[in-house]
Structure 1
């Protein structure tokens, strides 16, 4: 029944893989090169022509970077934003009082150009930790906000990248009260990615009418099923957050849990979040494969999440997948230490749709067939751990020689 309902909801979405944060009504996004990187765009912005409800989720790393601290405080105090300014190449992290002031100066300069108050500006940075921002370059960037030459949303998508190999974005449309509501998303992330927020930035915009409290609950719920269910290398960074803005430019009844079509909006919002999250996992540094772990039958969803995360986080699983080695014992091991509630005699495992473990016992399988399937780009691991209602999916990637090369010379 759940699968039928999911297919029905999916059929109600208009999905645009070329869409992004600039797709909803009233949003403008752009970017340019200011000199933080050698040649590529490194400074970008999202601007709503009207003030928008805002919500954010933030890294759990105790060393929170200056822009994250400033933005978190801004949204906490005001529950709204009208613009977000982002730079790549430099994280403005571990920079003390000067870093905080630099983030606030960025707010002020952007606000001056947009003729709005600084507290309506969110700021974000990503890149190398431990260097001060060259503020003359940041100020130069703010002076070009809303310059038609740079106001192309694909420029924003490019400007936030670090070691990413591709941009990550899409938009979806769904009918609410007979009106077309658009949700757009853009994200970056490739390394230092692990559940509970990691070196990633996510931005979601919508022209739906949603108040800040409802939007905050929606974002947290979506994050728990998407951005907090991915991993690349087990490291959680200092800068990372997902920010959402809803400017209400579509004239429909305000959305909340009591709206008769709330479920449609939630499904669309979750779709955007999960697409972006999986795009990050697929583009992990040096990755060649997206790895999905699906767990069912757990005592509850929390247990299922722990097991799924354990599988995609295991370096032994990741290296086996990269080597296209059908060593399912590494998967079993990751399941076994994930939760004390796992009962081996009730555990079944399939790898690339081939059963390899049943009731805790090894099953004979066609080694050559499984090895052939492991050459594919998308690897799915399916696990059943009992007859409970808990289920979850987590997303990761393989661990390659290229990952070591990238990170051995990240600063040089």
Structure 2
């Protein structure tokens, strides 16, 4: 598990505009009834960019636009984000609307449209309310002050209960480099990717291809290691912008401080991923499942994610029920190779299964442990060296209520 080191320190005032040259803002334009619903993130100069996107075969119009920026232009200077309507399954008009948002934002900032990414989140199948969006774009005035970053974080939210922000500084070539991030998401979280946004900024100097490689490997063990309800949405993305204003020598895997950069980007990503899992719709607890001794890391991650995504495990955690049978059942149907007679399972510090058989433990003490806001299951397979971790949340009455009335 990554922690702060001599070369990486958490920044107290978490702010996506903390890296040099970045500004942000968010306003209410009228897509939603009252809450902020339009956000803008900008860089003083065109930034190297990397992105990872939803694997759902049905993808929203904003993804089409932003993928072009990430994979074709390979530079991004601004990102316009709307919340309330996803602009997904909206046909040709939806694509026209996404490109219009890109063009009008570029016009507002005086930059090329190909440097503007677009992101939208909310109800699928509704046409964008373009009049308030276009009017709102004209009113956006990004700032590097904390207030602007807070407004940005609030404007990208849908059913989130809290904003999700984090930032760290590290040292590269003797220069301070900051990596900061903001995310949204609390339902339909089954990334690879899902209904979530994670926007990360840094003033590090790095070419887009190296940034993309780092992000992809980090995403597999952070954002793709969380689940709330098993649904994969149509719109969502992780985007990293690196504008180079820290003036370090360009980062590559051969750079002596490459590991500092990757570790810090990993930590920012993991912070945001866990915040999303913890803020699952109606959730009361964060669940961590760690798997050791699998045949490979991939198999370990598969088991961990299956267990943390099991509705029966999630409801047991909600009820503080030490029903380890649900855990071992999920291990068994994960599709990974296991030896049932070699499995050890612990709930927090307490072993409940050894060699595939039950062991005596205090139900009362384990129930008290499960009442905590964060709970952990450790699964030891004793078959190899593979290890992996996944995060999720409990499944509550409120989750059903929130999703039964989402469009109401």
- State the TM bucket, normalised to the shorter chain: over 0.9
Q: CA deviation at 1:120?
A: 0.3
C-alpha separation between the residues in 1 aligned to 2:214 and 2:160? 27
Q: 1:132 aligns with which of 127, 134, 137?
A: 127
Structure 1 match to 2:407: 411
Contact map agreement 2:299 2:336 (CA 8 A) in 1: no
Q: 1:277 aligns with which of 273, 277, 299?
A: 273
Alignment of 1:250-399 (within 5 A): 250-399=246-395
Contact map agreement 1:28 1:151 (CA 8 A) in 2: no
Q: CA deviation at 1:367?
A: 0.6
Structure 1 match to 2:16: 21
Scaled by the length of structure 2, the TM-score of the pair is 0.97
Structure 2 match to 1:198: 194
Scaled by the length of structure 1, the TM-score of the pair is 0.97
Structure 2 match to 1:177: 173
Q: CA deviation at 1:352?
A: 1.6
Alignment of 1:11-90 (within 5 A): 11-90=6-85
Cα-to-partner distance string for 1:117-176 (whole Å, 9 max, x where unaligned): 000000000000111111111111210232669971100000000000000011100011
Contact map agreement 2:42 2:142 (CA 8 A) in 1: no
What SS does the aligned partner of 2:87 have?
Answer: coil
Q: CA deviation at 1:211?
A: 0.2
Flag the 1:311–1:169 CA change in 2: closer, same or farther, 3 A. Answer: same
Structure 2 match to 1:220: 216
Q: CA deviation at 1:16?
A: 2.2
Contact map agreement 2:303 2:336 (CA 8 A) in 1: no
Contact map agreement 2:80 2:118 (CA 8 A) in 1: yes
C-alpha separation between the residues in 2 aligned to 1:252 and 1:116? 25
Runs of 4+ in 1 over 4 A off after TM superposition: 147-151
Cα-to-partner distance string for 1:312-371 (whole Å, 9 max, x where unaligned): 110000000001101000000011111341111221110021100111111110010000
C-alpha separation between the residues in 1 aligned to 2:311 and 2:181? 30
Contact map agreement 1:201 1:242 (CA 8 A) in 2: yes
C-alpha separation between the residues in 1 aligned to 2:33 and 2:348? 42
Alignment coverage as a number of residue pairs:
407
What SS does the aligned partner of 1:84 have?
Answer: strand
C-alpha separation between the residues in 1 aligned to 2:199 and 2:359? 44
What SS does the aligned partner of 2:261 have?
Answer: helix
Contact map agreement 1:67 1:125 (CA 8 A) in 2: yes
What SS does the aligned partner of 2:123 have?
Answer: coil
Unpaired runs of at least 5, structure 1: none
C-alpha separation between the residues in 2 aligned to 1:396 and 1:209? 34
Q: Check if 1:97 corresponds to 2:92.
A: yes
